[in-house]
Structure 1
Amino acid sequence: MSDQALERSAVAKASWRLLPLIALGYGISYVDRVNISFAALQMNRDLHFSATVYGLGAGLFFLGYALFEIPSNLLLVRFGARRWIARIMLTWGALAIGMMFVRTPMQFYVMRFLLGLAEAGFFPGVAYYLTLWFPEAHRGRAISRFYVAWPLSTVVMGAVAGSLLGLQGRLGLSGWQWLFLVEGAPAVLLSVVILFCLPDTPEKAAWLTADEKTWLQRRLAADAATLVGAPQSIFKAVFSLPVLAATAVNFMLLGTFYAFNLSAPELLHNATHLSAGQVGYVVAAAGLSGAAGMLLNGWHSDRSGERHLHLIAPLLVMAAAFVVIGQAQAPWAVTAAYAVALTANAAVGGVVWPVLIGVLHPRTAAVGVATINAVGQFGSFVMPALWGVAKDATGSFHAGLTALPFAYLIAAAIVLGLRQARPKPVPAPA
């Protein structure tokens, strides 16, 4: 069999066997970390939480995530992706269900922190795991095909949130308690599937032929050989200028996105006066357009062999969209700008990790990915907390919305600098 045929068969098998399962896990994880944005429509009222309390509690998830990010990835390498990812899903699913028992601000803070601690390492672990299976020329599509679970999960979350909140009073539970119960259970169930169905490396995949395993090993080794310089120590790798730049980009992207997204249902409700169910449908529709944008941007970046401009363009679109959201008065304009912002943010997801991982040497990739994501998650703690404080201080979301475009413009400028320091990758064969 020719190299081209081996490439097609090996990549196709890995895609079909791994990506749907990983995507399902990531979609569930995203729902469980942000479903409080819908629960807050009832929970904040029932429990008398201010915007400051809610913002701090929402952000504490990411502090726990950040603190355990690097240890979790080191343990993933030691115990293997299959066991460790299954452990992550089991513990976060149990804690996600446990959110239904929250009654006080302190309980809210503790549960959100523990939920982040439990989920820590899932996304960077998966991103690192995919580098063991997919050569550089295929990673944009591979990552976008699992990462597309993020916008698709917003479709599911938006479509069912109104119905779950509508269960208010059933069996003595509030609607927001039903939301946590129903949306937390799938993680526990999927952890069992992950444990039995996810191979640790290509060498352990019974569904790959010997020739396909050899081709993957050879191609991944060739990709590693194209990197400039020898493998660095972990300390030097983490504190090198390119990694620091990539870390700053992720800090801006995650912090600003979660600051907005954790309050998006409330913001849309206030701006449009739609019901919780109708807001859910708006979020679901934006999720569909986001899924298309993510897949298209990841596919085109692979076909063209260019990553950085495919990241810069949607960053600029997001900056413009948030200017509109912050200034527009008409409900249709806010809704349209929200859909544009969510679509552009999903398009970022299709290419951002190939760009960020591209500054790392394979020998330090696991810790490097964890470091980049951990600092980004710290931004996701800081910015939602500041967002809540600003909301209580000013009585509106205007101050927070005014700051978001500047963060995206700074991120775009840093990516442009990374582009100048990175050779253009080879396009995938037709």
Structure 2
Amino acid sequence: MISELEARVCRKLMLRIIPFVMLLYFISFLDRVNVGFAAMTMNKAIGLSPAAFGLGGGLFFIGYFLFEVPSNLILHKVGARKWIARVMVSWGIVSAASAFVVGPNSFYALRFILGVAEAGFFPGIILYLSLWFPSRQRAVAAAWFMAAAPISTAIGSPLSGAIMKLPPMWGLADWQMLYIIEAVPAIILGFVVLKYMTDTPSKAHWLQPEERAWLIAKLTTEADAKQSHAGHTAGALSALRDPRVLALALIYFGTSAGLYTLGLWAPLIIRQYGFGSFETGLLAGVPSILAVIAMIVWAKHSDRTEERTWHVVIPCVVACLGFVFAGGATSALMIILSLVVVNIGISAAKAPLWAMPSMFLSGAGAAAGIAMINSVGNLGGFVGPFAIGWLKDVTGGYSAGLYVVGATLAVSAVVTLLLSRQSKQTPVAAGERHGH
């Protein structure tokens, strides 16, 4: 039974931390995928072929991959407040600079640098949540945070579509205006982070003394219990070599391939049916609203039943089938319905998946392991969009690429089951799988 004090502390954490980190991720995701809308006129203006656009879109993740683990280890050292502020201001500046690309090479360079600038943000926030939320609340906290990605698509898609309809101003084309307008909030919020974010519970003056004492004691007890466990990993190098970390990275790879294929290509896939910019934005946003609902409901069910494996497997299979349907779609309605299925599957898989690492990682091990899962997993964000662009150049259509991305999600489902089977052979992993 949850005590009145515990309920009060968790409510304060949810209200103080979650809306703010959701806002940060909303802006992050908007700046990451608005290239899909800019492409409507940018590709022709600077001479990008579908393959070149897919390559540039994916190069973001190469920069992200190379700098993710170092960035999260720096965050672990200097604290979330300073490092997240640095990340936001630098990615805002780079995102605004994307308005001034003049051809394929400058497009590739800016996408790579954007990945470097933003590296560490997502795993940094996942690590940050693990420093504040007791394990019983962690999956739902992560689900609310990650819900900002589909919310960003739901609100950001029509917004980006509307900006693309603005008349040219100050000698800037519509796609240039899009980059600049959507980069400004990131820079402003970087400075807000310095004022608003609190590094650790011991510095949380917005909690009452007894609330602060209870939270610190609870998190310390959980950390001590975890460290006494045989399968616990606290060192950065040990975490990077842990086969469970590599398995989770491979599972995340499929979900990332699916997510960023949607973010970068959905506007262009929808637009081929003759919709205008704003209508395309609305239609790209609709599936995301349903995805947010599915994400929260599924995470709560995963926490309540203390089950993780099937809460990852089932959504991955659903998303895989969605891509197969999308590949065979012959009408706008079929595409939209397929995208709804894909969105729901990908979003629902994420929170149960991210509830797994903090069960066996802590300290520098958690910083390195979470960053490793995210950086390797996010290479799916390179492979998915690039495969779509390259195969569209080769075949003249989107179907082959959509089937390839669907296959990566099938692999995610299989690896999750294999990890679960391996887990049952050792007591620690069974505990992880069930969230103990």
Gaps of 5+ in 1: none
1:365 is the counterpart of 2:366: yes
Amino acid at match of 1:391: K
State the TM-score, normalized to the length of structure 2.
Answer: 0.93
| CA shift for structure 1 position 48 | 1.7
1:194 is the counterpart of 2:193: yes
- Given that residues 259 and 343 in structure 2 are in contact (C-alpha distance below 8 angstroms), is that contact kept between their aligned partners in structure 1? no
- Name 2:328's counterpart in structure 1: 327
Amino acid at match of 1:255: A
1:415 is the counterpart of 2:420: no
| CA shift for structure 1 position 195 | 0.6
| CA shift for structure 1 position 214 | 2.6
- Given that residues 141 and 298 in structure 1 are in contact (C-alpha distance below 8 angstroms), is that contact kept between their aligned partners in structure 2? yes
- Name 1:92's counterpart in structure 2: 91
**Structure 1 residues 276-425: aligned runs within 5 Å:** 276-420=277-421, 421=423, 422-424=429-431
212, 226, 230: which one aligns with 1:228: 230
Instruction: Return structure 1 stretches of 4+ with deviation > 6 angstroms.
Output: 425-428
- Given that residues 57 and 111 in structure 2 are in contact (C-alpha distance below 8 angstroms), is that contact kept between their aligned partners in structure 1? yes
- Given that residues 155 and 288 in structure 1 are in contact (C-alpha distance below 8 angstroms), is that contact kept between their aligned partners in structure 2? yes
- Given that residues 143 and 350 in structure 1 are in contact (C-alpha distance below 8 angstroms), is that contact kept between their aligned partners in structure 2? yes
Once the two structures are superposed, residues 40-80 of structure 1 have per-residue CA deviations (whole angstroms, 9 ceiling, x without a partner) of: 01111211210111111111111111111011111111111
- Given that residues 233 and 360 in structure 2 are in contact (C-alpha distance below 8 angstroms), is that contact kept between their aligned partners in structure 1? no
**Structure 1 residues 38-49: aligned runs within 5 Å:** 38-49=37-48
* Structure-2 separation of matches of 1:179 and 1:335: 24
- Name 2:246's counterpart in structure 1: 244
Amino acid at match of 1:276: S
- Given that residues 242 and 418 in structure 1 are in contact (C-alpha distance below 8 angstroms), is that contact kept between their aligned partners in structure 2? yes
Residue 168 to residue 46, structure 1, CA distance change in 2 (3 Å):
farther
- Name 2:268's counterpart in structure 1: 266
Amino acid at match of 1:306: E
| CA shift for structure 1 position 95 | 1.0
Once the two structures are superposed, residues 104-131 of structure 1 have per-residue CA deviations (whole angstroms, 9 ceiling, x without a partner) of: 1111111111111111000000000100
* Structure-2 separation of matches of 1:48 and 1:170: 22
* Structure-1 separation of matches of 2:262 and 2:19: 28
* Structure-1 separation of matches of 2:295 and 2:23: 16
Give the percent of matched residue pairs that are identical in Structure 1 and Structure 2: 36
Give secondary structure in 1 for the equivalent of 2:315: helix
* Structure-2 separation of matches of 1:354 and 1:389: 35
Residue 408 to residue 59, structure 1, CA distance change in 2 (3 Å):
same
- Given that residues 240 and 369 in structure 2 are in contact (C-alpha distance below 8 angstroms), is that contact kept between their aligned partners in structure 1? yes
Residue 14 to residue 232, structure 1, CA distance change in 2 (3 Å):
closer
Once the two structures are superposed, residues 165-221 of structure 1 have per-residue CA deviations (whole angstroms, 9 ceiling, x without a partner) of: 111423322111111111111001111111101000000000122322232233223
Residue 56 to residue 213, structure 1, CA distance change in 2 (3 Å):
same
- Name 1:253's counterpart in structure 2: 255
* Structure-1 separation of matches of 2:155 and 2:128: 26
| CA shift for structure 1 position 424 | 4.9
Moved more, 13-22 or 339-348: 339-348
- Given that residues 295 and 348 in structure 2 are in contact (C-alpha distance below 8 angstroms), is that contact kept between their aligned partners in structure 1? yes
| CA shift for structure 1 position 397 | 1.3
Give secondary structure in 2 for the equivalent of 1:263: helix
- Given that residues 144 and 294 in structure 1 are in contact (C-alpha distance below 8 angstroms), is that contact kept between their aligned partners in structure 2? yes
* Structure-1 separation of matches of 2:233 and 2:347: 32
Give RMSD over aligned pairs: 1.9
Give secondary structure in 1 for the equivalent of 2:378: helix
* Structure-2 separation of matches of 1:171 and 1:423: 60
* Structure-2 separation of matches of 1:229 and 1:258: 33
- Name 2:155's counterpart in structure 1: 156
- Given that residues 305 and 425 in structure 1 are in contact (C-alpha distance below 8 angstroms), is that contact kept between their aligned partners in structure 2? no
Once the two structures are superposed, residues 329-369 of structure 1 have per-residue CA deviations (whole angstroms, 9 ceiling, x without a partner) of: 12211111111211222212332211344343455101110
* Structure-2 separation of matches of 1:413 and 1:236: 25
Give secondary structure in 2 for the equivalent of 1:170: coil
- Given that residues 313 and 416 in structure 2 are in contact (C-alpha distance below 8 angstroms), is that contact kept between their aligned partners in structure 1? yes
Moved more, 238-247 or 188-197: 238-247
* Structure-2 separation of matches of 1:256 and 1:321: 10
- Name 1:51's counterpart in structure 2: 50
Amino acid at match of 1:50: S
1:118 is the counterpart of 2:117: yes
Moved more, 401-410 or 177-186: 401-410
Amino acid at match of 2:62: L
* Structure-2 separation of matches of 1:59 and 1:8: 43
Once the two structures are superposed, residues 201-246 of structure 1 have per-residue CA deviations (whole angstroms, 9 ceiling, x without a partner) of: 0000001223222322332233331443354543232212211111
Gaps of 5+ in 2: 424-428
* Structure-2 separation of matches of 1:35 and 1:90: 18
Residue 261 to residue 212, structure 1, CA distance change in 2 (3 Å):
same
* Structure-2 separation of matches of 1:3 and 1:386: 49
**Structure 1 residues 16-35: aligned runs within 5 Å:** 16-35=15-34
Amino acid at match of 1:292: I
Residue 189 to residue 235, structure 1, CA distance change in 2 (3 Å):
same
- Name 2:104's counterpart in structure 1: 105
State the TM-score, normalized to the length of structure 1.
Answer: 0.94
Give secondary structure in 1 for the equivalent of 2:198: coil
* Structure-1 separation of matches of 2:114 and 2:172: 21
Give secondary structure in 2 for the equivalent of 1:274: coil
- Given that residues 243 and 360 in structure 1 are in contact (C-alpha distance below 8 angstroms), is that contact kept between their aligned partners in structure 2? no
- Name 1:131's counterpart in structure 2: 130
| CA shift for structure 1 position 20 | 0.8
Once the two structures are superposed, residues 393-430 of structure 1 have per-residue CA deviations (whole angstroms, 9 ceiling, x without a partner) of: 111111111212221111011112333413357999xx
Give secondary structure in 2 for the equivalent of 1:128: helix
